[in-house]
Structures are given as C-alpha cells and as structure tokens.
Amino acid sequence: MKVDNNTVDKLADLAKLGFDEGAKKEIIGDLNKILSFVEKLNELNTDNVEPLIYMTNETNILRKDKVVQGTTQAQALKNAPEKDSDYILVPKVLGKE
C-alpha cells in the first residue's frame, strides 16, 4: 500500500486538519516510511513466539485510599467571583432555543 495525495486528503478530512502542499509531501513521505517499516516487520517469523500481554512480571501495588478533607464550601465560596449565600453563580450557558 502506498500513501498518495488522495489518502492524505481523506485523513485530513477525517481529522479536520488542513495541510499545504509542502506539509502534504512530508506527511506522504512519513506515512510511506511507517508502512514500509510495518511491512518489514511482517517478514519476521513469529510462529513459536508467545503473545506478550504484559511488559513486565511486576504487579501493581496500590496504596489504600484515604479520606481527607478537601476544600470546604466556605473556602470555595471565598474564592468565587460571584456567589450567593450557598452557591457559586455562573453565566447561563443554555438558552430556550
């Protein structure tokens, strides 16, 4: 498979990106290098190779969760630009439309 201008245009459209002609040429070259590397990997004989699920034999050692007091309501209201007695006031973001 070779990458050409049409392929880059399709990828750019899907990713909502725009490229000038110079950038397109670089992207085509880079994608063709990646594809040729993957094709080279396909030449390897992996018949007797077990699939690798984990990179190491280590297991996760997780700490116990501790409940700690975070920001109190009074502290949050103290730093709020607009507030009433109990709540932070924010601009309306939804209309009736």
Tell me which H or E stretch contains 39. helix 21-41
15 occurs within a structural domain: yes
Note the pTM of the prediction, 2 decimals.
0.49
Tell me: the pLDDT tens digits for 37-67? 999 988 989 899 888 887 787 777 888 989 8
Using CA atoms, how far apart are residues 19 and 28, in angstroms rounded to an integer?
Answer: 11
Count: domains in the chain = 1
Residue 26 and residue 5 in contact, taking contact as beta carbons nearer than 8 Å: no
49 occurs within a structural domain: no
89 occurs within a structural domain: no
Region 3-27: what's the mean pLDDT?
Answer: 93
DSSP state of 88: B
Residue 1 and residue 35 in contact, taking contact as beta carbons nearer than 8 Å: yes
Whole domain around residue 22: which residue ranges? 5-41
Q: CA-CA distances (angstroms) from residue 37 to 27, 33, 40, 72, 91?
A: 15, 6, 5, 55, 52
